[in-house]
């Protein structure tokens, strides 16, 4: 995304007190508008309505939310609880909240010094995410070079994983962007991502700003692309990765993994280690958020189903580890995807790229 765009999130301190300013993603691409949150209930509402979204950015927003509560003299413990529970599947949200809360408590748990400590931790997390984004982009581009020698990649992505969900250029989209800058991207296929069209509205918005060769497709058209041999790799992000490597991501990701396996196409997940939840043993243990039915029965406020129609609307599905070719993190690439390799990367170990039996590959 071009430098001239509004940041997805920023801290501001006007005369009447600090605020957390969010780029309202529900109004994109038609309008770039900001929403200022002056308290935690307002931020929780923004998180739940997807004004701010995406796993890494939710972690950043959660940390800033704790700082906001502390700076304005609210009950920080209660604020942290509300924030952490705002969206249950995205593990980064609770992780960011806990980091800022720990800093607040370590600085005394009350008063200006503790509030400053929480804000400093939020800012550190924000900077860390930007650095991690760059590392994942480099590691992902290297992996594509190994799996698909020669360049000219035709990449399929789902939902939105770029600058709108990150302190820099994102997760899966960051890899796509790196391929584009390297002159190796032939085509970006953008799933529209029903029901809220984060692909058509947000990923296409970012791809257009970066002048990428891209095309939007209906989610149900992906199978025909695979059958025609038009997809070289699938790249997605993640909202939670279980200890066994099962990946919870935006609804519609699992069918892409099945298609990719059937057609012999690499299925790559790009996510920071903060998205890995080793306390969740497997995909079956991941709590899946279900959202209001009107998101399915309406399209941008226009009723498309009969009035009173019921809807099934899980926000995420889970892809089992055996369908994941690799998980790209800021600490290296996990392949094959299993508990041992994932735990090793989370502990800070990096592979040496030698192709040894441990399956780890270097950044």
Which residues are known to be catalytic?
239
Q: Quick check: 285 and 318 in contact, CB under 8 A?
A: no
Alpha helices in the chain (DSSP H): 40-48, 55-71, 76-84, 91-106, 111-147, 172-181, 198, 204-209, 222-227, 253-263, 294-297, 339-346
Q: Which residues contact 338 (CB under 8 A, 6 or more apart)?
A: 244, 245, 321, 359
Give yes or no for a contact between 339 and 245, defined as CB atoms under 8 angstroms apart: yes
The CA–CA distances, whole Å, from 106 to 62, 63, 117 equal 18, 15, 8
In whole angstroms, what is the distance from residue 268 CA to residue 257 CA? Answer: 9
Bridge partners (DSSP) listed for residue 317: 249
Asked whether the beta carbons of 11 and 20 are under 8 A apart, the reply is yes
Output the furthest CA–CA distance in the chain (Å, rounded): 62
List CB contacts of 277: < 8 A, sequence separation 6 or more: 91, 240, 241, 242, 243
DSSP helix/strand/coil, 243 = coil
**CB distance 232 to 154 below 8 Å:** yes
DSSP states of 102-159: HHHHHTTSSHHHHHHHHHHHHHHHHHHHHHHHHHHHHHHHHHHHHHSTT--EEEEE-S
Q: Is 307 left (phi over 0), alpha (psi -120 to 50) or beta?
A: beta
């Amino acid at each position: 995304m071009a430098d001239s765009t509004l940041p997805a999130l920023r801290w501001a301190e006007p005369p009447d007190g600090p605020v957390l300013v969010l780029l309202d993603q529900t109004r994109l691409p038609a309008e770039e508008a900001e929403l200022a949150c002056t308290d935690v209930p307002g931020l929780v509402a923004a998180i739940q309505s997807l004004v701010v979204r995406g796993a890494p950015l939710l972690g950043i927003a959660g940390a800033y939310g704790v700082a906001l509560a502390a700076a304005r003299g609210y009950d920080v413990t209660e604020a942290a609880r509300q924030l952490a529970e705002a969206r249950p599947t995205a593990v980064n949200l609770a992780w960011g909240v806990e980091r800022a809360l720990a800093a607040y408590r370590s600085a005394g748990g009350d008063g200006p010094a503790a509030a400053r400590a929480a804000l400093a931790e939020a800012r550190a997390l924000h900077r860390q995410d930007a650095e991690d984004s760059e590392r994942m982009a480099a590691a992902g581009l290297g992996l594509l070079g190994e799996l698909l020698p020669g360049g000219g990649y035709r990449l399929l992505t789902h939902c939105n994983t770029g600058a709108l969900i990150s302190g820099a250029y994102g997760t899966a989209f960051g890899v796509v962007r790196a391929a584009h800058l390297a002159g190796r991207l032939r085509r970006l296929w953008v799933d529209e991502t029903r029901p809220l069209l984060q692909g058509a509205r947000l990923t296409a918005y970012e791809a257009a700003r970066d002048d990428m060769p891209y095309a939007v497709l209906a989610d149900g058209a992906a199978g025909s692309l695979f059958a025609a041999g038009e997809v070289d790799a699938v790249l997605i992000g993640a909202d939670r990765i279980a200890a066994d490597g099962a990946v919870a991501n935006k609804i519609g990701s699992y069918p892409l993994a099945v298609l990719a396996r059937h057609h012999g196409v690499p299925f790559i997940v790009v996510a920071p280690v903060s998205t890995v939840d080793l306390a969740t043993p497997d995909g079956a243990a991941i709590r899946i958020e279900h959202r209001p039915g009107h998101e399915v029965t309406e399209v941008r406020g226009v009723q498309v189903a009969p009035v009173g129609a019921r809807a099934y609307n899980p926000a995420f599905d889970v892809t089992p580890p055996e369908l994941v070719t690799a998980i790209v993190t800021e600490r290296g690439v996990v392949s094959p995807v299993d508990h041992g390799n994932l735990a090793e990367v989370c502990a800070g170990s990096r592979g040496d790229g030698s192709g040894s039996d441990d399956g780890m590959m270097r950044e």
